[in-house]
């Protein structure tokens, strides 16, 4: 019985994400690649050091030595309690935890132990979660072409995870229909209590805050075509599915 439980656990961890998040007829982009999403809060007065040390890790070749791309980094400007969000590409659990990759990471950690120790010393809080998101190629392009992020992290009500994911896809259909920025969708798999995260990529804060150019009547029609009861129902429906959510504005750290 214990062996059966062990292998069921391994299958769940190495699988393709939560059962409620399997691809449907609208979009499968959220299950293309696996990421480790890390949020960091600096020790008091150490935000600049936190940013610089993360940049130095990449410049010193830590990620290259570890056999993985450097993380995408966003700096919080308002909304949540963390200072930096780092999105580490993993491809898959099988790739990330392969014996040769583990050996490369361990060697890189030993080689760059001093920088890692300094980084830990200026970090007051850290949380790591694993999530399936868009392809690495797509995410790389988004971070290269944009400077401003709108990040939302959602906690679904019990039994509403799949419906929440459906709502986020419906909203993307609406956003595309009204010629607004479509959000990248991440489905949380392990390590935290959130269920879905979305990131909207913009050239600037001004682009994010730009008012609609389409009349309200037209937007209402697009919302209905996307599956909502009305334009107002977009937010009402979302609120009926979540226990909480974090809404954050951030800038890309190069």
Q: Which of 97, 98, 101 is nearest to 66 (CA)?
A: 101
- The burial class, CB within 10 Å (0-12 / 13-18 / 19+), for 85 is buried
Topology adopted by domain 28-253: Alpha-Beta Plaits (3.30.70)
DSSP codes joined into one string, 101-160: HHHHHHHHHHHTHHHHHHHHHTEEEEEEEEEEES-HHHHHHHHHH-SEEEEEEEEEPTT-
Beta strands, E only, the chain: 33-42, 72-78, 84-91, 123-133, 148-156, 184-190, 196-202, 242-253
Which of 16-30, 192-206, 232-246 shows the lowest mean pLDDT across its residues? Answer: 16-30
Q: Calculate the CA dihedral of residues 143, 146, 149, 150 and round it to 10 degrees.
A: -120
Of the pLDDT bands very low, low, confident and very high (cuts 50, 70, 90), residue 19 is low
pLDDT digits (tens, 9 = 90+) for 97-147: 999 999 999 999 999 999 999 999 999 999 999 999 999 999 999 999 999
How many Cα atoms occupy the beta-carbon half-sphere of 194 within 13 Å? 20
Q: Using CA atoms, how far apart are residues 114 and 121, in angstroms rounded to an integer?
A: 11
């Amino acid at each position: 019985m214990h062996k059966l439980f062990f292998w069921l656990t391994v299958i769940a961890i190495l699988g393709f994400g939560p059962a409620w998040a399997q691809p449907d007829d609208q979009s499968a982009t959220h299950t293309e690649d696996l990421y480790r999403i890390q949020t960091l809060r600096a020790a008091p007065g150490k935000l600049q050091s936190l940013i610089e040390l993360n940049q130095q890790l990449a410049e010193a070749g830590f990620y290259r030595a570890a056999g993985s791309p450097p993380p995408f980094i966003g700096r919080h400007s308002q909304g949540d309690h963390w200072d930096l969000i780092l999105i580490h590409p993993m491809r898959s659990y099988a790739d990330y935890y392969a014996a040769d990759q583990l050996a490369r990471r361990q060697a890189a950690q030993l080689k760059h132990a001093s920088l890692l120790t300094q980084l830990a010393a200026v970090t007051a809080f850290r949380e790591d979660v694993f999530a399936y998101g868009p392809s690495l190629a797509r995410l790389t392009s988004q971070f290269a072409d944009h400077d401003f992020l709108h990040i939302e992290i959602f906690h679904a009500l019990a039994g509403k995870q799949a419906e929440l994911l459906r709502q986020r896809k419906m909203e993307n259909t609406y956003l595309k229909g009204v010629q607004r920025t479509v959000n990248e969708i991440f489905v949380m798999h392990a390590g935290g209590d959130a269920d879905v995260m979305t990131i909207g990529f913009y050239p600037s804060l001004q682009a994010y805050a730009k008012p609609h150019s389409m009349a309200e009547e037209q937007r209402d029609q697009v919302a209905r075509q996307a599956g909502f009861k009305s334009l107002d129902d977009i937010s009402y429906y979302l609120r009926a599915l979540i226990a909480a959510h974090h809404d954050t504005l951030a800038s890309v750290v190069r």
